[in-house]
Amino acid sequence: MKAVRVHETGGTEKLVYQDIAKPSPGPKQALVRIHACGVNFIDIYDRTGLYPLPLPFTPGSEAAGVVEAVGDGVTAVKAGDRVGYAGPVGSYAEYALIPDWQLVKIPDGIDFQQAAAAMLQGMTAHYLTHSTFPLKRGETVLLHAAAGGVGLLLAQMASKIGARVIGTVGTDEKAALAKQAGVNDIILYREEDFEAAVRKLTSGAGVDVVYDSVGQSTFEKSLNCLKRRGMLVLFGQSSGRVPPFDLNALNSKGSLYVTRPGLPHYAATADELRWRAGDVLQWVADGSLKLRIDRVFKLSEAAKAQTALETRQTAGKVLLIP
C-alpha cells in the first residue's frame, strides 16, 4: 500500500511517499481503508520533532473510511461500516489499523471528506467550549486564528451557546469567513495591537477566556486581555513554544488560570469520545455546524498540504485523498 513516511525529522522534504506492507488487524483492532484524511498542525509538530515519535512513522491523526477487516474481540464495528477517527497516528496512508473503541460510525448524509474534516478539529472545539472552559451565555471570548480549522468551528459553537466572540485574523478575506462563523468583533492583528483592541472592545474589562493556538507570539498579550480570574487556554503553538515564565505573573495580573489541554485527555474513553464526536457529527448532519474545506490534495502531495497550512495560506480544513 502507499503511505507517507517520516524517516528523520525536519522540513517537508522529509515526507516520503512510498510503498509499505499492508497491515493486518490484531485483537480489538480494525483495518480501515482510508478515503480522506485531515491535515493538522500536530502533523507538522510530529514531522519537525517538536512532539517526538519513534522513527520511522506515518504521520496524520485523523481520517474517514470503510472498515475492511476486524481482529478478534471487535464488537464496536464490522466490515463495511463507514467510520471516522481522530487520535491514532498513521492516517497519511491507504490503510490504517485503529483500536475499535476509537472508531465512530459516520451518520447517513455525511460523506468521507466531511467526516475527515470534522473529527479532530470538531472534537477539539467541542472540548474547549464544553469542558476545558465551559462557556456560558453572555461570556466573552478572545479567539486567535479565528478563520483557521478549529477557529471557524469554535466560533460557531461559542455563538450557539450565546457567548460574545472577539476574533483575530490576518486578512480581510479571513475576517469575512470569521464573521460568517459567528465572530462578533474582528481584530486584524497585522494592522492593530490585539491587546489594545480587546481592552477597547470590552471597555477595559477584558475577556473571560482566551482560546490560543498560536503560542509564543500571542501568549503575553493574551494574558493581559483576561479579566480577573480569567483563563488562557493554550491549545497549540503555531508560532513556537511559549518560553518559561514566572507563575507569580498570574497573581499580579488578576489570579489568572493557564491550561495546556490536548484532545487525547478529553476523549480518553469510548463514552466521552462518542459524546463529543456524536455532537459534532450530528450538528454537521443537521446543518447547524458548517464545515469549510479549504483545499484537497492527493496523498502524494502531503508536503504541499503541510506547507499551505504552515504558511497560513488556508482558512478552514486541508485534506489528503489516497
Same domain, 116 and 157: no
Same domain, 280 and 251: no
**446543518: which residue's cell?**
287
Residue 131, domain member (yes or no)? no
Domain closes at, from 260, 284, 303: 260
Same domain, 232 and 283: no
Across all residues in the chain, what is the average pLDDT? 96
Residue type, 35: H
Q: What is the pLDDT of residue 215?
A: 87
pLDDT in tens, 91-116: 999 999 999 999 999 999 999 999 99
Alpha-carbon Rg for the chain in angstroms: 20
Low-confidence ranges of the chain (pLDDT < 50): none
Same domain, 22 and 115: yes
Residue 216, domain member (yes or no)? yes
Q: Cell numbers at residue 139, please?
A: 461570556
Angle at 263 between CA 261 and CA 268, to 5 degrees: 110
Print the domain residue range for 14: 2-120+267-321
Angle at 269 between CA 118 and CA 92, to 5 degrees: 45
The whole-angstrom separation of Cα 140 and Cα 308 is 31
The whole-angstrom separation of Cα 18 and Cα 175 is 39
Q: What is the pLDDT of residue 241?
A: 86
Q: What is the pLDDT of residue 13?
A: 97
Same domain, 249 and 182: yes
Residue 127, domain member (yes or no)? no
Same domain, 278 and 236: no
Closest by Cα among 88, 92, 93, 90 to 104: 88
Residue 86, domain member (yes or no)? yes
List of residues 6+ apart from 13 with CB closer than 8 A: 303
What total of structural domains would you count in the chain?
2
- Sign for the pseudo-dihedral over CA of 30, 33, 35, 39: positive
Residue 232, domain member (yes or no)? yes
Domain closes at, from 212, 239, 260: 260
Cα distances from 177 to residues 67, 127, 143, 194, in angstroms, run 35, 22, 14, 19
pLDDT in tens, 177-193: 999 999 999 999 999 99
Same domain, 18 and 89: yes
Same domain, 160 and 83: no
User: Three-state SS for 174?
Assistant: helix
Residue 88, domain member (yes or no)? yes
Residue 126, domain member (yes or no)? no
Same domain, 249 and 271: no
Same domain, 60 and 16: yes
Task: State pTM to two decimals.
Answer: 0.93
Same domain, 8 and 101: yes
The whole-angstrom separation of Cα 15 and Cα 17 is 7
Residues 83 and 77 sit within 8 Å (Cβ to Cβ): yes
Same domain, 93 and 12: yes
- CATH number of the domain within which 280 lies: 3.90.180.10
The whole-angstrom separation of Cα 321 and Cα 294 is 14
